[in-house]
Structure 1
Amino acid sequence: MSKLGNLGARLHRGEVGYDFVKNRKIWYGLSILITITAIVGLAVRGLNMGIEFEGGAVFNTPKNTSASVSQAEEYAEQASGHDAIVQKLGDGSLRIQVAGIDTDAANTIKNTLADDLKVDSEQINAELVGPSWGEQIANKAWQGLGIFLVLVVIYLAIAFEWRMALAAFVALIHDITITVGIYALVGFEVTPGTVIGLLTILGYSLYDTVVVFDSLKEQTKDITKQTRWTYSDVANRSINSTLVRSVNTTVVALLPVAGLLFIGGGVLGAGMLNDISLSLFVGLAAGAYSSIFIATPLVADLKEREPAMKALRKRVLAKRAQSSAKGETDVHDDESYTGEPEDDAAPAVVGPRNQPASRSRGRGRPSGKRR
């Protein structure tokens, strides 16, 4: 067995592990800091909305255009009087986006760009996009997001409990806020591909969280019938038992997305891949983080406020103190919780039973026919 596989088996059995729940305040603080940074970036810089949402025109120049990106950007801004976004594609052509212009202005800009770039105006392809189309996409995206969140909360509240539903909802909002904030800080253009990527990461983040919740629900079924572990202890074991699986799933998902983002968008110059790959990359990483460091510790926090769990914690701590006073080994450290209640009854005696001798023992059985 590989070292990673051996580590995963030991984590699952509870032989080793990290106390995520005990150090939850550190992770809460880190998440709050990142979230505040994302919100400030969103408020200060705002989102760089694509022409699909603001309306405008896209000009595609012929292959192997000699002008650089900075030169084409300067030409487009001088011709239109608006900010322009220029991307150099893999075949050497340029994609020039200018927002807030109409059809007449687009034709004028097209001719001016042809003169500045020293190409035939017929070789420049101009496409007009109205703002109403992007507005419809944005409205549908918000509606889909709202319906998704409502259905998720209802399902988790029924399948698990309301505390887990609330924790999953907080984790999803955490992931969305960080992803949108990173977009604002980096300055990438927000396109319909960005919206698709944003909706995609919600399902992944929720899937990773539900895996831990399912393990936690199974292990805490009869937790109040024992006095060895608190709810936080079992929650921490649930995280550790699925830790290697979560890490492996996240790494496998991030590798192809990183290829799209850094190689496809950065090296090959396919700028349109950045729209969806950045949201996927940031969202997948944030989703894996929130499922481990935010969702389950938050559930443990909420559950520990229940009277039954408070009473359980008192019994567990009292038993541990009693064991320490007697110099006994703490069962909390060397055994794993299986979710089964403790059996306080005396163990059954194993072996042959002592039965009374039969009264007829030693007497011969009469033989022959009865008369």
Structure 2
Amino acid sequence: MSKLGNLGARLHRGEVGYDFVKNRKIWYGLSILITITAIVGLTVRGLNMGIEFEGGAVFNTPKNTSASVSQAEEYAEQASGHDAIVQKLGDGSLRIQVAGIDTDAANTIKNTLADDLKVDSEQINAELVGPSWGEQIANKAWQGLGIFLVLVVIYLAIAFEWRMALAAFVALIHDITITVGIYALVGFEVTPGTVIGLLTILGYSLYDTVVVFDSLKEQTKDITKQTRWTYSDVANRSINSTLVRSVNTTVVALLPVAGLLFIGGGVLGAGMLNDISLSLFVGLAAGAYSSIFIATPLVADLKEREPQLKALRKRVLAKRAQSAAQGETEVHGDDESYEGEPEDAAPAVVGPRNQPASRTRGRGRPSGKRR
């Protein structure tokens, strides 16, 4: 078995582990810092809305156009009087986007670009895009997002409890805010592909969170009937037991998305791949982070405020302090399961271990009472 497999097995058994819940204030602070940075970027720079949302024209030049991206961008801005976005595609052609122009202006710009690029105007394909189509997609996306969040909260509140539903909701908002903020800071164009990517990462983030919640729910049954672990201890063990699985699934999901982002979009120049892959890449990473460092520690914080679990925590800490004073080994939350152990149970009486069995034991003894 590989070292990673051994580590995963030891984490699952509780032999090793990292105290994520104890250090939750660090993760909260880091998330708040990243979220504030994303909000500032979104406020100051804003989103670079694509032509599908603002309307305009898209010009596609013939293959192997000799002009560079900067030259074509300069030509388009001089011809239109508007900002232009130019992308060089894999076949050597150029994709020039100019927002906020009508049909007459598009024809004039097309002829001017043909002269500047020294190509026939018939070889330049011009497409007009109206803003209404992008607005319809955006409205449908917002409606779908709202319905999705409502259904998620209702389902988690029924299947688990309202505290887990609230923690999952906070994690989802955390992931969306960071992804949108990164888009604003990087300056990538927001297209319908971006919206598709955002909706996709919500499902992944929620899936990873629910896996940890399910483990936490199973391990906290009858938790108040024992005095060895607090709720935070068990929550931390749930994170550690699913940690390797979460890391593996995240890496496997990020590898093909990274290929789309850096090879498909960066090398081959496929614009739509950039739009989808960046939102997926950032969202998947943020979703994995929030499921481990935000959602479960937040559930532990909310649960520890309950009177029963507050009392349990006091009993556990008192028992540990008593054990430490008596010089006994302190029992932590990463030890064996407490299921079936009654509170303050007395240790079972067992005989000496490895005692050899006598071959003559029990032979020749008459049945009935001993004399």
CA–CA separation in structure 2 for the residues paired with 1:259 and 1:163: 37
Sequence identity percentage: 98
Distance 1:301 1:119, change over 3 A: same
Which secondary structure does the structure 1 equivalent of 2:356 belong to? coil
C-alpha contact (below 8 Å) 1:114/1:124 kept by paired residues: yes
Distance 1:230 1:349, change over 3 A: closer
C-alpha contact (below 8 Å) 1:49/1:190 kept by paired residues: yes
Distance 1:348 1:325, change over 3 A: closer
C-alpha contact (below 8 Å) 1:53/1:131 kept by paired residues: yes
C-alpha contact (below 8 Å) 1:163/1:302 kept by paired residues: yes
Deviates more, 1:323-332 or 1:21-30: 323-332
Q: Normalised by the size of structure 2, how large is the TM-score? A: 0.92
C-alpha contact (below 8 Å) 1:13/1:336 kept by paired residues: no
CA–CA separation in structure 1 for the residues paired with 2:265 and 2:307: 54
Which secondary structure does the structure 2 equivalent of 1:367 belong to? coil
Which secondary structure does the structure 1 equivalent of 2:58 belong to? strand
C-alpha contact (below 8 Å) 1:88/1:269 kept by paired residues: yes
Give 1:359 deviation, angstroms: 31
Deviates more, 1:108-117 or 1:326-335: 326-335
Distance 1:195 1:326, change over 3 A: same
Give 1:331 deviation, angstroms: 2.1
Distance 1:340 1:166, change over 3 A: farther
Give 1:335 deviation, angstroms: 3.7
1:103-159 CA distances to partner (integer Å, 9 max, x unpaired)?
111111111111111100100000001001110000000000000000000000000
2:338 matched residue in structure 1:
337
Which secondary structure does the structure 1 equivalent of 2:85 belong to? strand
1:210-236 CA distances to partner (integer Å, 9 max, x unpaired)?
000000000001100000000000000
Distance 1:353 1:136, change over 3 A: closer
CA–CA separation in structure 2 for the residues paired with 1:289 and 1:167: 13
2:355 matched residue in structure 1:
355
In structure 2, the gaps of 5 or more residues are none
C-alpha contact (below 8 Å) 2:226/2:338 kept by paired residues: no
Distance 1:8 1:116, change over 3 A: same
Which secondary structure does the structure 2 equivalent of 1:227 belong to? coil
Distance 1:49 1:313, change over 3 A: same
2:292 matched residue in structure 1:
292
Distance 1:87 1:362, change over 3 A: closer
C-alpha contact (below 8 Å) 2:53/2:133 kept by paired residues: yes
CA–CA separation in structure 2 for the residues paired with 1:141 and 1:239: 32
In structure 1, the gaps of 5 or more residues are none
Structure 2 residue 7 is matched with structure 1 residue 7: yes
Structure 2 residue 236 is matched with structure 1 residue 241: no
Q: Superposition pairs for residues 297-316 of structure 1, below 5 Å?
A: 297-316=297-316
Give 1:266 deviation, angstroms: 1.1
Structure 2 residue 159 is matched with structure 1 residue 159: yes
Which secondary structure does the structure 2 equivalent of 1:356 belong to? coil
1:262-297 CA distances to partner (integer Å, 9 max, x unpaired)?
111112222321000000000000000000000000
Distance 1:310 1:366, change over 3 A: closer
Give 1:326 deviation, angstroms: 1.1
CA–CA separation in structure 2 for the residues paired with 1:316 and 1:262: 51
1:312-342 CA distances to partner (integer Å, 9 max, x unpaired)?
0010011111111111111226544447654
Which secondary structure does the structure 2 equivalent of 1:274 belong to? helix
CA–CA separation in structure 2 for the residues paired with 1:174 and 1:367: 74
C-alpha contact (below 8 Å) 1:14/1:241 kept by paired residues: yes
Equivalent residues, number: 370
Q: Normalised by the size of structure 1, how large is the TM-score? A: 0.92
Distance 1:83 1:339, change over 3 A: farther
Which secondary structure does the structure 1 equivalent of 2:200 belong to? helix
